[in-house]
Amino acid sequence: MTALDRPALIDPESVRGFLSREEGEALARAARRVGGLGPIVEVGAYCGRSALYLGPAARAAGTVLVSVDHHRGSEEHQPGWEWHDHELWDEAAGALDTLPAFRDAVRRAGLEDAVVALVADSRVAAHLLRGPFGLVLIDGGHALKTALGDWRAWAVAVAPGGMLAIHDVFPDPADGGRPPCEIYRHAVASGLFEAAETVGALRLLTRVG
Ligand code: MG
Protein backbone atom coordinates (compact mmCIF):
# COMPACT_ATOMS: atom_id res chain seq x y z
CA MET A 1 0.00 0.00 0.00
CA THR A 2 1.41 3.42 -0.97
CA ALA A 3 0.75 6.72 0.80
CA LEU A 4 -1.95 7.43 -1.78
CA ASP A 5 -3.52 4.02 -1.48
CA ARG A 6 -5.37 4.10 1.81
CA PRO A 7 -9.00 3.55 2.68
CA ALA A 8 -11.48 5.94 4.25
CA LEU A 9 -10.82 6.32 7.98
CA ILE A 10 -14.48 5.71 8.81
CA ASP A 11 -16.86 3.07 7.50
CA PRO A 12 -18.93 4.52 4.62
CA GLU A 13 -21.92 2.60 5.95
CA SER A 14 -21.83 4.77 9.09
CA VAL A 15 -22.83 7.73 6.90
CA ARG A 16 -26.46 8.31 5.80
CA GLY A 17 -27.07 7.13 2.29
CA PHE A 18 -28.70 4.67 -0.03
CA LEU A 19 -25.73 2.85 -1.57
CA SER A 20 -25.06 -0.71 -0.39
CA ARG A 21 -21.57 -1.87 0.52
CA GLU A 22 -21.47 -4.16 -2.52
CA GLU A 23 -22.45 -1.28 -4.80
CA GLY A 24 -19.90 1.03 -3.17
CA GLU A 25 -17.10 -1.47 -3.49
CA ALA A 26 -17.93 -2.09 -7.16
CA LEU A 27 -17.80 1.65 -7.78
CA ALA A 28 -14.46 1.91 -6.00
CA ARG A 29 -12.96 -0.93 -8.10
CA ALA A 30 -14.15 0.71 -11.31
CA ALA A 31 -12.86 4.15 -10.29
CA ARG A 32 -9.42 2.74 -9.51
CA ARG A 33 -9.34 1.02 -12.90
CA VAL A 34 -10.23 4.09 -14.96
CA GLY A 35 -9.04 6.95 -12.75
CA GLY A 36 -5.96 7.30 -14.93
CA LEU A 37 -8.21 8.54 -17.76
CA GLY A 38 -9.44 11.57 -15.83
CA PRO A 39 -11.10 12.74 -12.63
CA ILE A 40 -14.01 10.87 -11.10
CA VAL A 41 -17.34 12.73 -10.91
CA GLU A 42 -20.40 11.92 -8.85
CA VAL A 43 -23.68 13.67 -9.51
CA GLY A 44 -25.65 13.47 -6.28
CA ALA A 45 -23.53 13.38 -3.14
CA TYR A 46 -26.16 13.51 -0.35
CA CYS A 47 -24.33 12.98 2.97
CA GLY A 48 -21.13 11.53 1.53
CA ARG A 49 -21.49 7.78 1.61
CA SER A 50 -20.56 7.25 -2.06
CA ALA A 51 -17.74 9.82 -1.72
CA LEU A 52 -16.23 7.60 0.97
CA TYR A 53 -15.99 4.77 -1.56
CA LEU A 54 -14.98 6.84 -4.59
CA GLY A 55 -12.61 9.27 -2.85
CA PRO A 56 -9.99 6.72 -1.79
CA ALA A 57 -10.21 5.07 -5.22
CA ALA A 58 -9.66 8.39 -6.98
CA ARG A 59 -6.69 9.18 -4.75
CA ALA A 60 -5.15 5.74 -5.36
CA ALA A 61 -5.50 6.37 -9.12
CA GLY A 62 -3.75 9.73 -8.81
CA THR A 63 -6.81 11.87 -9.36
CA VAL A 64 -9.69 13.40 -7.37
CA LEU A 65 -13.39 12.92 -6.92
CA VAL A 66 -15.49 15.93 -7.89
CA SER A 67 -18.67 15.61 -5.89
CA VAL A 68 -21.52 17.60 -7.44
CA ASP A 69 -24.66 18.38 -5.43
CA HIS A 70 -26.77 21.45 -4.68
CA HIS A 71 -27.20 19.86 -1.24
CA ARG A 72 -30.89 20.80 -1.07
CA GLY A 73 -32.03 17.21 -1.52
CA SER A 74 -33.78 15.50 -4.42
CA GLU A 75 -37.53 15.46 -4.90
CA GLU A 76 -37.88 12.32 -2.78
CA HIS A 77 -36.04 13.95 0.16
CA GLN A 78 -38.42 16.88 0.49
CA PRO A 79 -40.90 17.20 3.41
CA GLY A 80 -43.80 14.80 3.04
CA TRP A 81 -41.86 12.49 0.72
CA GLU A 82 -40.72 8.95 1.43
CA TRP A 83 -37.03 9.67 2.07
CA HIS A 84 -37.34 12.93 4.02
CA ASP A 85 -34.98 13.13 7.04
CA HIS A 86 -35.91 16.04 9.26
CA GLU A 87 -32.47 16.06 10.94
CA LEU A 88 -31.14 17.49 7.67
CA TRP A 89 -33.59 20.37 7.68
CA ASP A 90 -32.10 23.89 7.90
CA GLU A 91 -34.69 26.01 9.72
CA ALA A 92 -33.06 29.32 8.77
CA ALA A 93 -32.96 28.42 5.09
CA GLY A 94 -36.35 26.75 5.13
CA ALA A 95 -34.73 24.02 3.08
CA LEU A 96 -32.83 20.77 3.35
CA ASP A 97 -29.07 21.12 3.73
CA THR A 98 -26.93 18.02 3.36
CA LEU A 99 -23.65 19.91 2.98
CA PRO A 100 -22.69 19.98 6.70
CA ALA A 101 -23.16 16.21 6.98
CA PHE A 102 -21.23 15.68 3.73
CA ARG A 103 -18.33 17.87 4.83
CA ASP A 104 -18.17 16.24 8.24
CA ALA A 105 -18.07 12.76 6.68
CA VAL A 106 -15.29 13.70 4.24
CA ARG A 107 -13.23 15.25 7.05
CA ARG A 108 -13.67 12.30 9.40
CA ALA A 109 -12.77 9.91 6.58
CA GLY A 110 -9.50 11.76 5.96
CA LEU A 111 -10.50 12.57 2.40
CA GLU A 112 -10.25 16.36 2.20
CA ASP A 113 -7.29 15.98 -0.20
CA ALA A 114 -9.21 13.63 -2.48
CA VAL A 115 -12.76 14.99 -2.62
CA VAL A 116 -13.68 18.33 -4.20
CA ALA A 117 -17.22 19.42 -3.31
CA LEU A 118 -18.93 21.42 -6.04
CA VAL A 119 -22.13 22.91 -4.61
CA ALA A 120 -24.09 23.50 -7.77
CA ASP A 121 -26.92 22.30 -9.93
CA SER A 122 -25.81 19.34 -12.02
CA ARG A 123 -26.21 21.09 -15.37
CA VAL A 124 -24.41 24.22 -14.23
CA ALA A 125 -21.56 22.04 -12.97
CA ALA A 126 -21.41 20.19 -16.29
CA HIS A 127 -20.93 23.52 -18.07
CA LEU A 128 -18.14 24.53 -15.70
CA LEU A 129 -16.15 21.31 -15.65
CA ARG A 130 -14.01 20.16 -18.49
CA GLY A 131 -13.83 16.43 -19.14
CA PRO A 132 -12.93 13.88 -20.11
CA PHE A 133 -13.65 12.05 -16.90
CA GLY A 134 -12.55 8.57 -15.94
CA LEU A 135 -15.88 7.71 -14.36
CA VAL A 136 -19.15 9.57 -13.91
CA LEU A 137 -21.70 8.30 -11.40
CA ILE A 138 -25.25 9.53 -11.96
CA ASP A 139 -27.02 9.25 -8.61
CA GLY A 140 -29.12 12.40 -8.54
CA GLY A 141 -32.84 13.05 -8.55
CA HIS A 142 -35.24 10.43 -9.83
CA ALA A 143 -37.70 12.70 -11.63
CA LEU A 144 -37.61 12.00 -15.36
CA LYS A 145 -36.58 15.54 -16.24
CA THR A 146 -33.74 15.45 -13.70
CA ALA A 147 -32.44 12.01 -14.69
CA LEU A 148 -32.59 12.80 -18.43
CA GLY A 149 -30.90 16.14 -17.78
CA ASP A 150 -28.07 14.41 -15.93
CA TRP A 151 -27.63 11.89 -18.75
CA ARG A 152 -27.54 14.61 -21.41
CA ALA A 153 -25.16 16.79 -19.42
CA TRP A 154 -22.64 14.18 -18.37
CA ALA A 155 -22.57 11.11 -20.62
CA VAL A 156 -20.59 12.79 -23.38
CA ALA A 157 -17.94 13.88 -20.88
CA VAL A 158 -16.91 10.30 -20.08
CA ALA A 159 -13.52 9.49 -21.61
CA PRO A 160 -13.34 6.76 -24.26
CA GLY A 161 -12.62 3.62 -22.24
CA GLY A 162 -14.00 5.34 -19.14
CA MET A 163 -17.14 4.41 -17.30
CA LEU A 164 -20.64 5.66 -16.68
CA ALA A 165 -22.33 4.42 -13.53
CA ILE A 166 -26.04 4.80 -12.84
CA HIS A 167 -27.58 4.12 -9.45
CA ASP A 168 -31.17 3.16 -8.59
CA VAL A 169 -31.82 1.16 -11.74
CA PHE A 170 -34.86 -0.98 -10.97
CA PRO A 171 -36.09 -3.01 -13.96
CA ASP A 172 -39.23 -3.95 -11.97
CA PRO A 173 -41.33 -0.80 -11.35
CA ALA A 174 -42.49 -2.35 -8.05
CA ASP A 175 -38.94 -1.87 -6.72
CA GLY A 176 -38.54 1.82 -7.52
CA GLY A 177 -39.02 4.69 -9.93
CA ARG A 178 -38.40 4.33 -13.64
CA PRO A 179 -36.21 7.25 -14.77
CA PRO A 180 -32.79 5.84 -13.76
CA CYS A 181 -33.72 2.60 -15.54
CA GLU A 182 -34.80 4.58 -18.59
CA ILE A 183 -31.52 6.47 -18.83
CA TYR A 184 -29.64 3.18 -18.43
CA ARG A 185 -31.54 1.76 -21.42
CA HIS A 186 -30.92 4.98 -23.28
CA ALA A 187 -27.19 4.67 -22.61
CA VAL A 188 -27.06 1.12 -23.97
CA ALA A 189 -29.22 2.01 -26.99
CA SER A 190 -27.06 5.04 -27.77
CA GLY A 191 -24.17 2.90 -28.92
CA LEU A 192 -21.89 5.11 -26.82
CA PHE A 193 -21.80 2.65 -23.93
CA GLU A 194 -21.67 -1.09 -23.35
CA ALA A 195 -23.06 -2.72 -20.23
CA ALA A 196 -20.16 -3.86 -18.07
CA GLU A 197 -21.36 -4.82 -14.61
CA THR A 198 -24.52 -5.06 -12.51
CA VAL A 199 -24.36 -4.92 -8.72
CA GLY A 200 -27.68 -4.47 -6.91
CA ALA A 201 -29.31 -1.32 -8.31
CA LEU A 202 -26.00 -0.11 -9.75
CA ARG A 203 -25.16 -0.39 -13.44
CA LEU A 204 -21.69 0.18 -14.80
CA LEU A 205 -21.14 0.86 -18.49
CA THR A 206 -17.98 1.33 -20.50
CA ARG A 207 -17.74 4.13 -23.06
CA VAL A 208 -16.98 2.59 -26.41
CA GLY A 209 -17.91 5.36 -28.82
MG1 MG B 1 -29.01 6.45 -5.37
pLDDT digits (tens, 9 = 90+) for 168-180: 999 888 888 889 9
**Each residue's pLDDT tens digit in the chain (209 positions)?**
677 899 999 999 999 999 999 999 999 999 999 999 999 999 999 999 999 999 999 999 999 999 999 999 888 888 888 888 989 999 999 999 999 999 999 999 999 999 999 999 999 999 999 899 999 999 998 889 999 999 999 999 999 999 999 999 998 888 888 899 999 999 999 999 999 999 999 999 999 97
Active site residue 167: no
Report how far ligand 1's centroid is from the alpha carbon of 142 (Å): 9
Report how far ligand 1's centroid is from the alpha carbon of 184 (Å): 13
How many CB atoms lie under 10 A from the CB of residue 90? 14
Percent of the chain with pLDDT over 70: 100
Rounded Cα distance, 37 and 208, in Å: 14
Q: Which helix (H) or strand (E) covers residue 52, if one does?
A: helix 49-60
pTM higher than 0.85 for the full model?
yes
